[in-house]
A and B are shown apart, each in its own frame.
Chain A
Amino acid sequence: MNDADDATRDAASPTPSRSPLSDAALDQLRAVLDEPDLGATRYELREPLGRGGMGTVWRAFDRELQRDVALKVLDEPVPERAAAMAEQLLAEARVLARLEHPGIVPVHDVGTLPDGRVYVAMKQVRGERLDRAMTSGLEEAQRHRLFARIAETVAFAHSRGVLHRDLKPQNLMVGEFGEVLVLDWGLAVALRGEAALREVAPAKAEAAEGEARAGTPGWMAPEQAAGGPIDERADVHALGRLVDALWPDGRERPLRAIVAKATAAAPAARYATVAELAADVERWRAGAAVSALPEAWPQRFARHYRRYRAAYWLIGTYVVLRIAFELWRARVAGAA
């Protein structure tokens, strides 16, 4: 009970009678009963932005800095599980805090609400989820730019010893100015032997060796789904699926070869790093040979022809004209 309760010790005020619970009232109660109590914090609650597996993300207003933030507040349906969930949320916040990159949402603050729920305040990002952006249509150049930025962000995380483990369009945000943000690092774990992450998030470090099964079916690598040991190539697998999703109608052999290599069942058959995958996608964009598709000379010629079509036609036209000219000249000389 808080001060507001004490202030109500006055039975003089008339209390309205209550009618049977309407559908609208039921919906209202279901929506508001989990609203976090921000009374003891610097934030004011605005509206829910979305729900995830562990909690709800709210738009909130930071009174101190006079700005909107995204406030991720843990659900706490069962007290016995709350401690483990709080640890997981804090671990995610610590992972994010050490990943300073334009493609990763920065964490501003963490804390505990009066009701014991843990919250994380993050920069509020405005934009559209990639899955929704894809349905509304993306230009070819835009798809390449987005993929390159996503790959760069994931490669950066790998360089800091962090695997995302849940890469999919629903966890990728396209910002108002074309920037890309990789969201939802709730399943992130340490790469093997990454000591630094063990210090900030020991539970996540352990998860890399033990519970690796978490992820999204259809996107996670087979070894991840089986709960086996995973490394960068698990994220490579998900990014291969992303390439497939970004170019769903792409029938070009180099593109199919890139997807096939990135999503190969055996990790050893995949690209060893995200950077290698990104480089191959860039080669495909530029019309160069991709490492995923060894070429015999006819394919090489066909690719060259497609890439330098104008030059081939120019040279071909010159050769034909030159032959015609020489034949004409020989004929004239013979007649003379």
Chain B
Amino acid sequence: MEPSSERFPLTRHSVVLAVRSSDAPQRQRAWERLVEAYWKPVYKYLRLQWRADGEQARDWTQEFFARALEKGFFDRFDPARARFRTFLRVCVDGMVGKEREAAQRQKRGGGVAPLSLDFAAAEGELAGLEPPAPEQMDDYFHREWMKSLFEGALRELEAILRAAGKERLWHLLVRYDLEAPGRLEKLSYAEVGRELGWSVTQVTNGLHSVRRQLRERVLARLRELCSDDDEYRAEARALLGVDPR
């Protein structure tokens, strides 16, 4: 799926709630946003938790999101009872259970229009990964969800900066935060400045600017994926590392 701020502008509406909308276009857009945020965590979850092979996990991921739209899986979501990602995992588990039962009786037929999801990339990320212990699966799914959220925001930011001819800002973020994470091995401002032909002050200002823009996009996406303000506040604080007192 290609993120596009024009196609789905930053908004504070919750896509978790909008996916139940009676307005078909709105419902479709919300569903696309949910697929973008959750398909990779779901795929990896199926591979690791259900021990599905790549092909099986791919089919189930496609099947799950297609059915979610067609049969209104997400209509049953109650924000008062659980977080959306917890609810989604329960839905995935339920679907896989039924699929396995059905597979005993007959081979499932096609009929579902496939989504354009980069399963090869997801599979590549799983290569060499030690499967998490069952009790760590919650944490794993949560971390994958966070990665998916950040990746979506990064793709969006990259597209915007490139379109605006600000590739050096994007370069700065990639070099400083994505390629060389961790303070000990981090490049110096002067070193990155030399690469870009910038002064140290321009580097620090640029870094603040591009991080702020990324932050806005991460938070906007997070807000869409939460059902209300309270959940959003709690998630925002957890995502950006605030210690609970």
A residues at B contact (CB < 8 Å): 1-5, 7-11, 13-16, 18-35, 37, 39, 47, 51-53, 56, 75, 77-78, 81, 115, 216
Pair A15/B167 contact, Cβ less than 8 Å: yes
Pair A4/B206 contact, Cβ less than 8 Å: yes
A34 to B179, CA, bound (A): 19
Pair A77/B175 contact, Cβ less than 8 Å: no
Q: Does B146 contact A (CB under 8 A)?
A: yes
Pair A3/B205 contact, Cβ less than 8 Å: yes
Pair A78/B208 contact, Cβ less than 8 Å: no
Tell me whether A77 and B177 are in contact in the complex, defined as CB-CB below 8 angstroms, given that A4-B206, A9-B165, A37-B212 are known contacts: no
Q: Does B237 contact A (CB under 8 A)?
A: yes
Q: Does B134 contact A (CB under 8 A)?
A: no
Q: Does B147 contact A (CB under 8 A)?
A: yes
Pair B179/A2 contact, Cβ less than 8 Å: no
CB neighbours of B209 from chain A (8 A) = 1-2, 4-5, 37
Residue among B143, B181, B229 with most chain A CB within 10 A: B181
CB neighbours of B151 from chain A (8 A) = 20-21
Tell me whether A33 and B202 are in contact in the complex, defined as CB-CB below 8 angstroms, given that A18-B154, A20-B121, A21-B154 are known contacts: no
Query: Assuming A4-B203, A33-B218, A77-B233, what are 14 further A-B pairs, CB within 8 angstroms?
Result: A4-B205, A4-B209, A5-B206, A5-B209, A8-B165, A9-B166, A15-B167, A18-B158, A18-B178, A20-B125, A21-B150, A26-B146, A29-B178, A78-B236
Pair A30/B165 contact, Cβ less than 8 Å: no
The 10 A-B pairs with the shortest beta carbon distances in the complex, nearest first, are A28-B181, A4-B206, A4-B205, A8-B168, A37-B208, A8-B166, A24-B181, A77-B236, A33-B215, A25-B181
- Out of B171, B178, B206, B218, name the residue touching A25 (CB < 8 Å): B178
A23 to B239, CA, bound (A): 14
Q: How far is the CB of A15 from the nearest CB of chain B, in Å?
A: 5
Pair B241/A31 contact, Cβ less than 8 Å: yes
Q: Does B245 contact A (CB under 8 A)?
A: yes
A3 to B241, CA, bound (A): 29
CB neighbours of A52 from chain B (8 A) = 245
- Out of B196, B202, B243, name the residue touching A3 (CB < 8 Å): B202
CB neighbours of A115 from chain B (8 A) = 212
Interface residues of B in 97-155 (CB under 8 A from A): 121, 124-125, 143, 146-147, 150-151, 154
Could you list some 27 contacts between A and B, CB below 8 A? A4-B203, A5-B169, A7-B198, A8-B206, A13-B168, A15-B174, A18-B158, A18-B178, A20-B125, A21-B147, A24-B181, A24-B182, A25-B178, A25-B181, A28-B177, A29-B178, A30-B241, A31-B241, A33-B214, A35-B211, A39-B204, A39-B205, A47-B183, A51-B243, A56-B242, A75-B242, A78-B236
Q: How far is the CB of B14 from the nearest CB of chain A, in Å?
A: 14
CB neighbours of A33 from chain B (8 A) = 211, 214-215, 218, 240
CB neighbours of A22 from chain B (8 A) = 181
A200 to B147, CA, bound (A): 45
A34 to B211, CA, bound (A): 8
Q: Which residue of chain B has the shortest Cβ distance to A75 in the bound complex?
A: B242
A28 to B164, CA, bound (A): 26
- Out of B181, B182, B240, name the residue touching A77 (CB < 8 Å): B240
How many residue pairs, one in A and one in B, have C-beta atoms under 8 Å apart? Answer: 134
Q: Does B232 contact A (CB under 8 A)?
A: yes
A61 to B74, CA, bound (A): 51
Q: Does B170 contact A (CB under 8 A)?
A: yes
CB neighbours of B17 from chain A (8 A) = none
- Out of A3, A14, A25, A216, name the residue touching B177 (CB < 8 Å): A25
CB neighbours of B203 from chain A (8 A) = 4
Residue among A4, A5, A14, A25 with most chain B CB within 10 A: A4
Pair A30/B240 contact, Cβ less than 8 Å: yes
- Out of B150, B158, B161, name the residue touching A29 (CB < 8 Å): B150
Residue among A1, A2, A77, A78 with most chain B CB within 10 A: A77
CB neighbours of B143 from chain A (8 A) = 23, 26
Q: Does B219 contact A (CB under 8 A)?
A: yes
Q: Which residue of chain A has the shortest Cβ distance to B185 in the bound complex?
A: A24
Task: Bits for B33-68, please: 1 = Cβ < 8 Å to A, else 0.
Answer: 000000000000000000000000000000000000
Q: Which residue of chain B has the shortest Cβ distance to A113 in the bound complex?
A: B208
A10 to B171, CA, bound (A): 12
Pair A11/B171 contact, Cβ less than 8 Å: no
A31 to B242, CA, bound (A): 10
Pair A75/B237 contact, Cβ less than 8 Å: yes
Q: Which residue of chain A has the shortest Cβ distance to B182 in the bound complex?
A: A24
Q: Which residue of chain B has the shortest Cβ distance to A52 in the bound complex?
A: B245
Q: How far is the CB of B141 from the nearest CB of chain A, in Å?
A: 14
Pair A34/B215 contact, Cβ less than 8 Å: yes
A29 to B153, CA, bound (A): 12
Task: Bits for B221-242, please: 1 = Cβ < 8 Å to A, else 0.
Answer: 0000000010011001101111
CB neighbours of B124 from chain A (8 A) = 20
CB neighbours of B218 from chain A (8 A) = 33
CB neighbours of A51 from chain B (8 A) = 241-243
Pair B204/A15 contact, Cβ less than 8 Å: no
Tell me whether A21 and B204 are in contact in the complex, defined as CB-CB below 8 angstroms, given that A4-B209, A51-B243 are known contacts: no
Residue among A1, A8, A27 with most chain B CB within 10 A: A8
Pair B205/A2 contact, Cβ less than 8 Å: yes
Q: How far is the CB of A84 from the nearest CB of chain B, in Å?
A: 13
